[in-house]
Amino acid sequence: MRYTPLSSNVFTKNRTKFCKHLKPLSIAVFNSNDIYPVSADSTLPFQQHRDIYYLSGIDQEASILLLFPDARNKSDREILFVKKTDKHIAVWEGEKLSKAMASERSGIEHIEWLSTFEAVFFRLMKEAETIYFNTNIHGRVVAEVQTREDRFIEWCKAKFPAHQVGSSAPILHQLRAIKSQEEIGTIKKACDITEIGFREALKIIKPHTWEYEIEAAFAYHFLKNKADGFAYTPIIASGNNANVLHYIQNKKQCKAGEVILMDVAAAYAKYSSDMTRVVPVSGVFSKRQKEVYKALLEVKNYATSLLTPGLEWAHYNKEIGVFMTQKLQELNLLDKADIQNETKEQPAYRKYFMHGTSHFLGLDTHDYGFQELPMQANMVLTVEPGIYIPEEKMGFRLEDNLVIQENGTPINLMASIPIEIDEIETLMHA
């Protein structure tokens, strides 16, 4: 790993909080992700399942975490199973975690080799009444392959059909939505690396620059500064490409007079940042581009001002919709007839702003959390309104990462990343 690992105390606290939500005599099991094949002997780079990482800090394939807070033997209340290294693996892949290293990183005293899992699990299931499975329940999930977790669940149900079943997902959605100070500091580190990449990318943006050249500049400076890499597939969208919300081809040549939308950010120690900025390819915004940009920045600032504990998501989205409608009218994009003909299901502003304003941010870019519940202090959210105008071949989105505070204004983790028109134009002419 390139990053500095978080203290094992972070993961110990996470496990303690999680276990408080389990029913009596319950075991919870968490599996690492698979290493997924491409073709022949090629594989995708390993990405650890964020839940086992959240609870253990272990960033290695073929690992299993078992939590059994009511186990009769105290040493069985937390067990981490890791892949045993050997000389062959050490030569071809690099040495894996030793038991001592795994214990130091996770704060778990009882470390076993993976080969012992079935025997230990059978022994402990004799004491347990409920098994908590870690299913992937997320509003955006698209699951077309069977995971290691899926295979474990099938195996466990076949072996222990009489045990009750629980779900870890609701617990983790609640816990992971509220960030510790260590987690917030790590997200801030990712934001700081993102800022470096953005400032460096501004130096090469000009007419005839290719979108992929800008992506490469971000990649270079992210890796140079010890990021994991991109937090998500980067969007470098010039001209009309910005009106495709998830444009990731990044293959067009930038033209004079266009604006370029860059939705690109770094991850650090598995924690994501999420930034979007819009800049003029020629270094100066046109009059019309400035009008749209200023209006959108006002929407973003208004949305930010609303972020306080107790705020209902439905009210938040409604208020932003009203404010956005006003701004779109001022830009002559909506008229009175558009407003009169709108419906609750299809408000007029959706023609130019068709996505949500905020989402949870953390170990996943679209992190866990319940939008059905009020906002709470120490939630980290994006604020990312957009105005997309295909008929004018330009699209705008501005995005920062905010921490809700118990009392007062939310903290903007991206406050130092240039966003004002004057600052961007000055930097592009430096």
Q: Give residue-wise pLDDT tens across range 356-379.
A: 999 999 999 999 999 999 999 999
Is residue 93 very low, low, confident or very high in pLDDT (cuts 50, 70, 90)? confident
pLDDT of residue 95: 84
Residues 227-252 have pLDDT tens digits of: 999 999 999 999 999 999 999 999 99
pLDDT reported for residue 91:
86
* Least trusted range by pLDDT, from 3-7, 122-126, 221-225, 296-300: 3-7
- Give the residue-averaged pLDDT of 61-75: 98
Determine how many CB atoms are found less than 10 A away from the CB of residue 314: 10
User: At residue 392, does pLDDT exceed 90?
Assistant: yes
Q: Residue 423: which residues within 8 A CB-CB, separation 6 or more?
A: none
CA 44 to chain centre: 19
Asked whether residue 67 carries a pLDDT value surpassing 80, the answer given is yes
pLDDT above 90 (res 159): yes
N-term to C-term CA, the chain = 35
Q: How far is CA 156 from CA 31, 118, 165, 237, in A?
A: 13, 10, 10, 46
pLDDT score at 200: 98
Cα–Cα distance for residue pair 244/242, rounded to 1 Å: 5
Q: pLDDT tens digits for 117-147? A: 999 999 999 999 999 999 988 878 777 899 9
Cross-strand pairs, 267: 229, 272
Output the pLDDT for position 113: 98
Angle among Cα 113, 118, 120 to the nearest 5 degrees reads 75
Instruction: Give the pLDDT band of residue 197 (cuts 50, 70, 90).
Output: very high
- Asked if pLDDT for residue 331 goes beyond 90, the answer is yes
Cα–Cα distances in angstroms (integers) from residue 341 to residues 132, 338, 348, in the given order: 49, 5, 8
Which of 245, 252, 248 has its CA nearest to residue 211?
A: 252
Give the chain's mean pLDDT.
97
What confidence tier does 2 reach under pLDDT thresholds 50, 70, 90? confident
Residue recorded with tokens 């955006």: 140
User: How many percent of the chain have pLDDT more than 90?
Assistant: 93
- How would residue 1 be classed by pLDDT, with cut points 50, 70 and 90? confident
Segment 11-56, tens digit of pLDDT: 999 999 999 999 999 999 999 999 999 999 999 999 999 999 999 9
* Averaged pLDDT for residues 320-340: 97
Residue 387: its pLDDT value, please? 99
Where does the pLDDT of residue 326 fall: very low under 50, low under 70, confident under 90, or very high at 90 and above? very high
Q: Sheet containing 400-403: give its strands across.
A: 380-383, 400-403, 411-412
Distance of CA 43 to the CA centre of its chain: 23
**Distances in whole angstroms, Cα of residue 276 to Cα of each of 206, 227, 264, 386, 397:** 18, 18, 6, 10, 6
What pLDDT was estimated at residue 86?
85
Neighbours of 285 (CB within 10 A): 19
Kindly provide the b/e burial profile for residues 337-349, where b requires at least 16 CB atoms within 10 angstroms of the residue's own CB: ebeeebeeeebbb
**Whole-number CA gyration radius for the chain:** 24
| Predicted pLDDT at 72 | 98
Domains of the chain: 8-177 (3.40.350.10), 181-428 (3.90.230.10)
